[in-house]
Amino acid sequence: MENLIKIDKSAIVTEGKKLLDAGGKFVTAVCNDLDAEMEVTYFFSSNRGTEMQGLRCTVAKDEEVPSLTGETLAAVLIENELQELFGLKVKGIAIDYGGNMLLAHDSPTTPMLKEKKAEPKGVEN
Amino acid sequence: MATRTVVPFGPQHPVLPEPIQLRLTYEDEKVVEVTPVIGYGHRGIEKACELNEYAKNIYLCERVCGICSYQHSATVVEAMERLWPLELTPRINYLRTIWSEMARTHSHLLWLGLLADAFGFESMFMQFWRIREKVLDLLEQTTGHRVIQSVNIVGGLRRDIDEQQKRMIVGVLAQVRKESQSLIKALIHDYTVKKRTVGVGIITKEQAVSLGCVGPTLRASGISEDVRLTKYHAYGELNFEPIVESAGDCYARAAVRARELIQAIDLQLEALSKLPEGEIAVKVKGNPPANEAVMRTEAPRGELFYYAKGNGTRKLERMKIRTPTYANLPAVLVLLPGCQLADVPVNVLSIDPCISCTER
């Protein structure tokens, strides 16, 4: 995938703001479960929608990432979605649905996480 | 201070054929706050894409939406094709362009009919949908199905368009163009339509960008942005320039779609006249490689985004779908506050919401 920059999670807002200030538009964010950590990629389009830029960071599953909604409200739905479906902790979303944007109260939690592989059982003597 | 009342607009409402709730806060007849509530019909399609064999995802993803079904299949297929990546023949690209524009034609006709219906113009609503039937018939005759075409496969297409079908399409499209123009004229110049839409639900240029709007909703606010400018499929070889209006109101959004309807017909005719000879499928070897790819297309409602990640097996590691309505939904946060209760349905309709897409 072209135009992908790896950044630290602390730079998400500043790097995102740079792209927005340069005339970019937030497209979406994609989360990948890498077992021990989470990979989050934010996509921005520019130049009449013809170019795409990705900002990618990896975070530990118990770490928080800052919300982009302070810079662009376009991120509000996807950040809530990542929070609910992946358990990604997003700090300071402008409209926080509190885990019930897509999921109901009795839905399974974080359904998009990879299922944990069963540990091989020891052979009993 | 006027009394504030919270009214749930939906999830079951005559103007919303699909379930979404807009939690509206009113002061007298004026909306002052809105919170969109989704999740009534979420289907977990992204998760299912990880559990299916990759080829089956085409048939699953084209069921994300019953209106832009073709666009979903073309986009998911090309996202997966980019994992190898596969080199397609020009004929495949042209045929995909033709069917994409055919889908846009029927989608915009559907929306124009719904707009007429929202004003109580029942006869005009039926006329738009009568014309739309002809386009659906074309889809059926060329792909085998009116709604779920299932014509795309990884590496190409299942069907071709022969010379006889080409002549038939050209004839029908000429008729559709003529009838659409006459109806659009009646709708767009109507006093009541103007009274209800001009200056209503304004999204400024800055707001449209900041809210991440896409498609006709974005272009009606004066932004000349369209994924077709990336020249995917055969768009680079066609005479295409995005249609833009500047007012940013409901009327501008209707005008963009009306003009795009005619443009879509012209693009089909141009693509048909330039349709090159060649194979309609290329060989695909092995499973999707461990790679990742993004494919964006311009669906009738705006930019459709697919992200695919392969891992070398028959199943994908991840599939992400960002639909146009998902991107346009934050726009209701600025569209509705300040408007009258009576204008809520037309305002909501003006972004052409597709909840089926949003609840993928």
What are the backbone dihedrals phi and psi of residue B22, each rounded to the nearest 5 degrees, phi first?
Answer: -110, 115
- CATH architecture, domain B43-298+310-323: Orthogonal Bundle (1.10)
Q: How many domains does chain A have?
A: 1
- What's the mean pLDDT in B284-296? 93
* pTM exceeds 0.90: yes
Instruction: Determine the Cα–Cα distance for residues B326 and A38; give it in Å rounded to an integer.
Output: 23
Residue A79: count other Cβ atoms within 10 Å of its Cβ: 27
First to last CA, chain B: 42
| Range list of H helices, B220-287 | 250-274
B184-194 mean pLDDT: 89
Answer with the residue of higher pLDDT: A18 or B356.
Answer: A18
Can you give the pLDDT at residue A116?
58
Sheet holding B318-322, edge to edge: B292-299, B302-309, B318-322
Cα-based distances in Å from B355 to A118, B4, B351, B358:
37, 28, 12, 5
- A119 is a domain residue: no
> What 3-state DSSP class applies to A65?
strand
Region B63-73: what's the mean pLDDT? Answer: 91
Residues A5 and B163: their CA atoms lie apart, in Å, by: 48
Q: Which of chain B's residues have a Cβ under 8 Å away from the Cβ of A75?
A: 212
Interface list for B 273-302 with A (CB within 8 A): 292-294, 296
Give pLDDT tens digits for A61-94: 889 999 999 999 999 999 999 999 999 999 999 8
Is a pLDDT exceeding 60 seen at residue B231? yes
Q: Residue A47 pLDDT more than 80?
A: yes
Q: What is the CATH number of the domain that holds A8?
A: 3.30.460.80
Nearest residue to A88 via CA among A65, A121, A57: A65
**What is the predicted pLDDT for the residue at A120?**
54
Find the mean pLDDT for residues B45-73: 91
**What band does A117 get if pLDDT is binned at 50, 70 and 90?**
low
Q: What per-residue confidence (pLDDT) applies to A121?
A: 53
What is the distance between the alpha carbons of residues B223 and B29, in angstroms, rounded to a whole number?
32
Contact status of B45 with chain A (Cβ, < 8 Å): no
Residue A55 has phi, psi (to 5 degrees) of -115, 120
Nearest CA in chain B to A48: B225
Q: Evaluate whether residue A47 is within a structural domain.
A: yes
User: What separation in angstroms does the CA of B163 have from each of B166, B247, B266, B273?
Assistant: 5, 43, 18, 11
pLDDT for residue A115 is more than 50 = yes
Domain assignment present for residue A118? The answer is: no
List CB contacts (< 8 A) between A72 and chain B: 210-212
A45 touches chain B (CB under 8 A): yes
Task: Give per-residue pLDDT as tens, B237-251.
Answer: 999 999 999 999 999
Q: Tell me, yes or no, whether A107 lies in a domain.
A: no
Tokens of A52: 């795409």
Q: Give the model confidence (pLDDT) of B125-148 as tens digits.
A: 999 999 999 999 999 999 989 999
Residue A122 pLDDT more than 60? no
Range of the domain at A69: 4-91
Is B307 a residue whose pLDDT tops 80?
yes
